[in-house]
Structure 1
Amino acid sequence: MSHALPPTIDPVAAHHWHQAAEAEAPWLHEEVANRMQLRLDWIVKPPQNWCHWEPVRGGLQAHKLLRERYPQAECTIYEPVEQRRAVAEEKLGSRWWQLSRWKGAGLQVAEPADGSVDMLWANMLLHTAADPQTLIERWHKALKTDGYVMFSALGPDTVMQLHRLYADLGWGPAGHAFTDMHDWGDMLVHSGFAEPVMDMERITLTFATPERLLQELRELGRNLHPARFAGLRGRAWKAQLLQKMAEKWADKQPDGQLSLTFEIVYGHAYKPQPKVRLESSSSVSLQDMKAMLKQPRNTGLR
């Protein structure tokens, strides 16, 4: 199956950022995760097994909230980058002398096996993936039939003020384009998910100085656009940027603070019962066959 890759993400830069990102969740990630876990109130049946996909950047405070919400559920933590995997093992794993090891359900740091979890949680990750379709398909494989994914990502209106400033100054793209929530929904369906529910909200933060705003952006990510400035920017350029931000920022509060908008996209979808399209020769995986055999049979007469 061919994938429509994001048109404005440099895959090499995206891989480098994924490997080099700090082993700590930015404030915004924790805030979004907290808002996303409130959406679990809509889920009637709690998971018996769930996977936290890259929790160190996604939010360790949110992980604690999820463990408190589902204390009896087995948890698998997936952290593919060694530095962040070590942090996950240190901060989330329990020692033999801790009460948490003997109460509630277990926790392991590993890649989830195919068809092993009822819920997969991925916070503020998908918008930096160079091949998000493949990533969504991996989530689909990890889920049991009737399991579900919960994820969040940045949407197209994110940091619009910075994009506007760059455009006015003729500096090229300030960052790569973020995917619209309807396109995420299409990707979910193409990956085998059903009943996708997408919604969004905008969060506006204010910063006292241009320097503090830039610090926040550097904690959140990097410019992954293929047409970004190819070399390293110097001190003179940074000083000019800070000056232009102070002079020309589009959304400046009466007290001089700079407003910055983030569009947050939330997604939720189920893995449905497998369907087999009958042809002259059809093949079905053992896992899908087991799932189909568990479906109730229709004994009514036609």
Structure 2
Amino acid sequence: MGVVQNKIIDNPFLLWVKTELSQRMAQNLAFIKIEPKRIFLENKIATNAVKELKAIYPKASFAANFKIRKSLIESILQLKAFFAKKAPKNSHLSKYDLIWSSNLAIPKHEMTESQIKAWNELNADDGLLMLTYLGPDTAKEFQEIFLSKPDIVDMHDFGDLLVHCGYSDPVMTMEYLKLEYENIEILFKELKALNLFQGMNEVHENKDIVEKITKLRNSDGKWSLTLEIVYGHAWKVVKKKEHIVKIDANSILVKKK
């Protein structure tokens, strides 16, 4: 199993969200003492966030599943072609001390487990996985209007899945980031980009929904959009080798009564 390829999103708002998540997650590195030699960056983030990580770990080599200008970071490896081929079994080239993943959303069900197993395969033994994604309370202001919650795994369930898929000592935390909008059209555009609710494509045609959203303005005449940011990190467990001792049956002495 190789890395799960995520669709590269060039929408400026979505790129800003993922970059903001990545930069906020980087603040947690002050509490985690590691010196990774090889780092894998998953999901497209802005160049400034990559430069920040490079500054924190100047001796590390980086790889990514998205294109980064080599003129800025010459040590970045382009692995797109590499992952198109089947990597040799137990190849050290496919193992990373740190996997850095900034997601917009991690869906529930079997997709979650598949994603974690892909990370686990890329992680070196005792390697660290650090991830951040938008949690299920994202856009909570609009969930009653659309009569649904985003199909995103809860952080407590995610922590359990990390252990199930071969990680240890998972730590999951969260915080809220509130955005404010003066223009309802920009709000609609960015809600649509987040792809959390059905019916956003036809929202302008639904006068009832438009009216309900219009009434959500606060006393300043602005709309709020909450982003639930989930952070997690866990260590890959080293698989213990099975020690089997073979004993010749003829060497077993049976004590006679």
Normalised by the shorter chain, which TM-score bucket?
0.7 to 0.9
1:36-185 → structure 2 map (5 Å cutoff): 36-54=25-43, 56=44, 58-79=45-66, 88=67, 91-94=68-71, 101=74, 106-110=75-79, 116-128=95-107, 131-167=111-147, 173=148, 176-185=150-159
Q: 1:187 aligns with which of 161, 170, 179?
A: 161
Deviation at 1:223, TM superposition (A): 3.8
1:242-272 deviation line (CA, Å, top 9, x unaligned) = 333112x2xx321111112111110100012
- Flag the 1:235–1:65 CA change in 2: closer, same or farther, 3 A: same
Q: 5+ residue gaps in structure 1?
A: 1-14, 80-87, 168-172, 282-302
| Partners of 2:56 and 2:96 in 1: CA distance | 16
| Conserved 8 A contact 2:9-2:15 | no
The code of the aligned residue for 2:103 comes to: M
Superposition deviation, residue 139 in structure 1: 0.7
Which amino acid in structure 2 is aligned with residue 233 of structure 1?
E
1:219-234 aligned within 5 A: 219=193, 221-223=194-196, 228=198, 233=202
Gaps of 5+ in 2: 247-257
Q: Normalising by the residue count of structure 1, what TM-score does the alignment of the two structures yield?
A: 0.67
After superposition, the C-alpha distances for 1:145-172 in whole angstroms (9 at most, x for unaligned) are 11100001111211111112223xxxxx
Q: Does 1:22 align with 2:10?
A: yes
TM-score computed with the length of structure 2 as normaliser = 0.78
SS at match of 2:77: strand
Partner of 2:222: 257
Q: Which amino acid letter does the alignment assign opposite residue 102 of structure 2?
A: N
Query: C-alpha offsets along residues 176-201 of structure 1, whole Å, 9 cap, x if unaligned?
Result: 33211111101100110011011011
How large is the Cα RMSD of the aligned pairs? 2.9
How many angstroms apart in 1 are the aligned matches of 2:233 and 2:76?
24
The alpha-carbon deviation at position 43 of structure 1 amounts to 2.0
| Aligned length, in residue pairs | 230
Aligned to 2:237: 272
Whether the 8 Å CA contact 2:38–2:62 is kept in 1: the answer is: yes
